[in-house]
Structure 1
Amino acid sequence: MLNLSNDFFKRRKLENLVENQTSYTLNNAEMHVFETYVEAEKVLLQFNDPVLASMIVGRKIMHLSNEKSFDFLPGESLILPANEPMCIDFPEAKSDSPTRCLAMAISNDKIKQITTLMNETMPKADGVEWDVMDYNFHFINDPSIYGIIKRLLYLFTENHPSKDFFVDNMLQELIMRILQCNSRKIHTNPNHKLYKTSRISFIVEYIKNNLDEPLSIACLSKKACMSESHFYKVFKNEIGLSPIEFINNERIKLAVELLQNPNKKIKEVYFECGFESRSYFNRLFKREKLVSPSAYQSKFKTTLNLS
């Protein structure tokens, strides 16, 4: 959970009960912390630069242009293009449990500098270039993005003479990781316009449909019509994971589904997911879910017996 420092609460002025704003301005970004202490509806907000919004505590209902309304909760973030209007409801805000959210507006020049660097050093396949999204992107923070946002929240509120330098370095990593996260979403979404024309999307779909088969870099690179080294580099650039990391993640997702059947044998599960070794499967599963496959499955056996 994101936390605000004691210094923040000492220095901020509480002047409004709805979207009370505390702002910090640096060379290439501004961070705003918004606090709401009463229920409210249809509160309007807009920024001149692209913005990353992340929930700290509480719940909002977001109404964005051309989208269905959705709950915005702690652990989630939202990327909005410049000048995108937001209409926000606060159905649960109270004086003793306020809603808190951070919004970080990042200058277009800084984003362009970072995407230029990515295109020079991390080129995509098929001539597609990295660029800031011109649409809304709502996602759950993965551990790496969460850690960066947490660090930025601290840096902006810290009184340090070099914080512009520190923040610029963190912004570069944040934007790179968010663009890779967005790219990963595109390559796993059959409805996206780029999905059907991308070789990486084709490989992602092939992996997901053949998890029980041996999946090697040699095999996948051949299907992508690339050399092994080029395929590995491009895949990792666009997905943010190596091909083997992505394959293992997808296999563990499938295992999670299969283990919800309490009658399924562990051996059947790891073979159906493409693992040849139970010890390797156990190690990866426990690293991801923090429990062993058998312990995870036992929860569903207990539920079945209780019913």
Structure 2
Amino acid sequence: MQLPKSFYESRRLTTLVENYTSYTMDEVAMHVFETHKIAQQVHLQFNTPVLASMLQGKKIMHLRDKQSFDFLPGESLILPANELMRIDFPEAKTDNATRCLAMEISEERIARVVQRMNEQMQRTDGREWNLMDYNFHFTNDGGIYQILQRLVYLFTENHPSKELFVTNMVQELIIRILQANSRKAYSAQSKSLASTHKLAYVIEYIKENIQRPISNEELAAKAYMSTSNFYKVFKNEMGCSPVEFINQERITKATQLLQNPDFNLTEVFMACGFTNRSYFNRVFKRTKNSTPKAYRDRFMAL
């Protein structure tokens, strides 16, 4: 993610560890944190819920009731109000700062968006949308990435309608994060939920048949829905189309197989249900920002 020129023009570097530049509006604030030297056990806490998204470099996060983990570019983390973070910066340098975006959003703003979702975006199992699982760590999909890039631009721009633009983008961001949370929960629990939840059953079916072509018509039949209604319901709750979800599952499996030197690249893409090598390469690079070969080479070098 690129920071605009206006950010560098406005920011002041006063400390080498977690130097921050802040932009505030009603019920929402954006902070860009920069660290220019290796540091350990740096404490950080916000009094409102926050979306943290890595821009550059690497952090090691230590959270309450959660095993420590690497926090890398392209990944985000949802934290509740008053959650104490303990952070290590193993790679920060003077000429290569570790950078992270922190977006504070008031609980009142989130609650209003959730209420609107429950009024207009009913879920298939009758459950209501709720505040996302906190300490939710995920890889940004294309939609979330574009929103964050746009918000960085809007917050640093001097425009008379800036607050209105930000309000609309934050609403979309909350919706997409809740959908990503739903997608991850269904995927992780598809086997145990398959007997009681239509979408979980469909997702488990996708996983069991990932090595072959799967059509929307086939999935709709499994859900006992028309194809058009199934597509609408799936995208409404999961935040992506069935084809996009299938490709995500295939890339997840591909990353696992690429870590095994016993599989050559042809065997990998065929085992994941891709029909040709070039399409596999395009989807993999779009998802992982790396070619399959480069991903394997980097993993083998570790």
AA partner of residue 180 (structure 1): Q
Q: Give the aligned partner of residue 84 of structure 1.
A: 83
Aligned sequence identity (%): 55
8 Å contact 1:262–1:298 — kept in the other structure? no
8 Å contact 1:33–1:103 — kept in the other structure? yes
Unpaired runs of 5+ residues, structure 2, are 298-302
Unpaired runs of 5+ residues, structure 1, are 303-307
Inter-partner Cα distance in structure 2 for 1:78 and 1:249: 19
Inter-partner Cα distance in structure 1 for 2:292 and 2:126: 45
Deviation at 1:114, TM superposition (A): 1.6
- Cα distance, 1:143–1:297 mapped onto 2, change above 3 Å: closer
Q: Give the aligned partner of residue 74 of structure 2.
A: 75
1:79-125 CA-partner distances (Å, limit 9, x unpaired): 11222211111222232222221100011122122222222222111
8 Å contact 1:24–1:30 — kept in the other structure? yes
Aligned-pair RMSD on alpha carbons?
Answer: 3.3
Q: Give the aligned partner of residue 280 of structure 2.
A: 285
Q: Give the aligned partner of residue 110 of structure 1.
A: 109
Inter-partner Cα distance in structure 1 for 2:190 and 2:21: 39
AA partner of residue 65 (structure 2): N
Inter-partner Cα distance in structure 2 for 1:227 and 1:145: 29
AA partner of residue 283 (structure 2): E
What does residue range 53-64 of structure 1 map to in structure 2 within 5 Å? 53-64=52-63
1:243-278 CA-partner distances (Å, limit 9, x unpaired): 344345545666785998449689xx75x7667xx5
What does residue range 125-204 of structure 1 map to in structure 2 within 5 Å? 125-190=124-189, 197-204=196-203
Q: Give the aligned partner of residue 305 of structure 1.
A: none
AA partner of residue 232 (structure 1): Y
Q: Say which SS state the counterpart of residue 31 (structure 1) adopts.
A: strand
Inter-partner Cα distance in structure 2 for 1:24 and 1:132: 24
Inter-partner Cα distance in structure 2 for 1:113 and 1:37: 38
Aligned length: 289
What does residue range 1-307 of structure 1 map to in structure 2 within 5 Å? 2-190=1-189, 197-211=196-210, 215-226=214-225, 228-247=227-246, 249-250=248-249, 257=257, 261-262=263-264, 281=276, 284-285=279-280, 287-289=282-284
Question: Which of these two proteins has the greater Rg computed from alpha carbons?
Answer: 1
1:186-215 CA-partner distances (Å, limit 9, x unpaired): 111038986764221111001211245674
- Cα distance, 1:290–1:133 mapped onto 2, change above 3 Å: closer
8 Å contact 1:260–1:297 — kept in the other structure? no
Inter-partner Cα distance in structure 2 for 1:246 and 1:108: 29
* TM-score of the two chains, using structure 1 as the length reference: 0.80
Name the stretch that deviates more: 2-11 or 135-144: 2-11
Deviation at 1:16, TM superposition (A): 2.2
Q: Say which SS state the counterpart of residue 41 (structure 2) adopts.
A: strand
Q: Say which SS state the counterpart of residue 173 (structure 2) adopts.
A: helix
- Cα distance, 1:93–1:195 mapped onto 2, change above 3 Å: farther
* TM-score of the two chains, using structure 2 as the length reference: 0.81
- Cα distance, 1:119–1:207 mapped onto 2, change above 3 Å: same
Deviation at 1:153, TM superposition (A): 0.8
Name the stretch that deviates more: 193-202 or 56-65: 193-202
8 Å contact 2:251–2:284 — kept in the other structure? no
Deviation at 1:38, TM superposition (A): 2.5
Inter-partner Cα distance in structure 1 for 2:93 and 2:292: 40
1:9-37 CA-partner distances (Å, limit 9, x unpaired): 22222222221221110123100111222
Inter-partner Cα distance in structure 1 for 2:140 and 2:293: 29
Inter-partner Cα distance in structure 1 for 2:50 and 2:294: 41
Deviation at 1:70, TM superposition (A): 0.9
Inter-partner Cα distance in structure 1 for 2:236 and 2:196: 18
Inter-partner Cα distance in structure 2 for 1:214 and 1:94: 47
